[in-house]
Structure 1
Amino acid sequence: MPQSIDQLKSIETWVFDLDNTLYCATTNLFGQIDLRMKSFISGFLKVEPNEAFKIQKKYFREYGTTLRGLMDRHEVNPKEFLDYVHDIDLRKLKANPILDKALKKLNGQKIIFTNADVGHTLRVIERLGISHHFTDIYDIVASNYIPKPQPEAYQMFVKKFELNPKLTVMFEDIAGNLKPAADIGMTTVWVRTNTQWGQESSKGKHVHHEIDNLTTWLNNIVSLY
């Protein structure tokens, strides 16, 4: 398992989470999504916003995503939910030419593995100016709504793209989502955030690298080539 920076030059596949990973969490885009999830639940279940927020977080912790809980407990239409919660203002998201250059120099295929959907993913990476670097997007629909960190989602992902986990690196802002990746042999990189859910399980051996800024770290990697 390549865990030193020098050994990472042998990697064949680079797997990136989307939100709070490919862009900095300080943009607070997920804060908008969070509010829209609460709004959707409040309207759909006809409960007060405070109660909707409790349900939202309860399902996130129990099911991996709020959506999975809503589907299992309340038969929510997933497309309606995803369309609603991802209808957000992306103006704070700016093109990142430094990340663009780093991804261009990074050897190997690059895939996005996200609990969001393709539509939201494309809007984000187009705003960042990096959409042309990714060979594929594996979203929550592709995984049959089985979210990270469910091990089955990772097994399906590896099978679909015929990956060698030992030659694959995964980047995530939620440390707990890296455990199934490490369990099947991937090298893991935790992009630190100040969110409680992102930090949970961050002290385990499944986190091989901890970084504060994806762009800076990738530039260090490509400088070795």
Structure 2
Amino acid sequence: MPPQLSHIRAWIFDLDNTLYPASADLFGLMDKRMTAYVARTLGLDDMAEAYRIQKGYFQQHGTTMAGLMAEHEVDPHHYLADVHDIDLSVLAEDARLARLIARLPGRKLIFTNGDEPYARKVLARLGLSETFEAIHDIHASAYKPKPHEASYASMIEGLGVDPHESVFVEDMARNLAPAKTLGMTTVWLDNGSEQGHDADRSYVDHHITDLADWLHSLLGDDL
């Protein structure tokens, strides 16, 4: 392990577009269901207007769900069950990534704006079901999504990690800013999935484009 990471005791990973390629475009499938959910909730026939409102919620509240909860008192369990009802067959087992993550020295954890049932289905498709010790999901975050500061506080408490001994790997750079403020080592997986680019990248410690290749660079031969 390189010296700058020798103090790490917890390896925390985002789920979507981080543990599988952004090219899988699961978010595209969920995005359509989000738009349809917004349209039904607001009684809209104009899907373009529903999409505009949906993206407004995302920008203002961190997630579409947070916006719907704040402005329309939507049940988060009902919303997530609907939005996550997508075809996961595009995902394939990633044995190399599983081996590399398993070799990391310390705890392996998930921190996601999704919910645990969905996360476990994704991990099963990827062959990562036995890889992670725990999942901190949107329910555990009291529906405060990343990058809301309260989400990170609840994750640190819920998972029992020391932020100064933790790495956080994310595909959305803006979600790394609060982690850096708390003392985490931050890794931005720049795979083209980020929405709303920000020129400020001062909170990114490691800028990578492929998770497995980066882990291989740290750990060496994974065969």
Q: Report the TM range for the smaller structure's normalisation.
A: over 0.9
RMSD: 1.6
1:15 to 12, 17, 25: 12
Q: Secondary structure at the match of 2:110?
A: strand
Q: Is the 8 A contact 1:12 1:108 kept in 2?
A: yes
Matched residue type, 1:37: M
Map of 1:41-190 to 2, 5 A cutoff? 41-47=38-44, 48-190=46-188
Residue 43 (structure 1) shift: 1.3
* Alpha-carbon distance between aligned partners in 2 of 1:195 and 1:131, rounded to the nearest angstrom: 24
Aligned to 2:210: 213
Q: Is the 8 A contact 1:64 1:148 kept in 2?
A: yes
Q: Secondary structure at the match of 1:83?
A: helix
Residue 194 (structure 1) shift: 2.0
118 and 200 in structure 1: CA distance in 2 versus 1, 3 angstrom threshold: same
130 and 196 in structure 1: CA distance in 2 versus 1, 3 angstrom threshold: closer
TM normalised by structure 1 equals 0.94
Matched residue type, 1:75: E
Percent of aligned pairs with the same residue? 41
Q: Is the 8 A contact 1:6 1:224 kept in 2?
A: no
Residue 216 (structure 1) shift: 1.1
TM normalised by structure 2 equals 0.95
Between the two proteins, the alignment pairs up a number of residues equal to 221
Q: For structure 2, which runs of at least 5 residues remain unmatched after alignment?
A: none
* Alpha-carbon distance between aligned partners in 2 of 1:150 and 1:85, rounded to the nearest angstrom: 21
Matched residue type, 2:92: K
Residue 196 (structure 1) shift: 4.9
Q: For structure 1, which runs of at least 5 residues remain unmatched after alignment?
A: none
1:17-37 superposed Cα distances (whole Å, 9 cap, x missing partner):
000001010111111011110
Matched residue type, 1:16: F
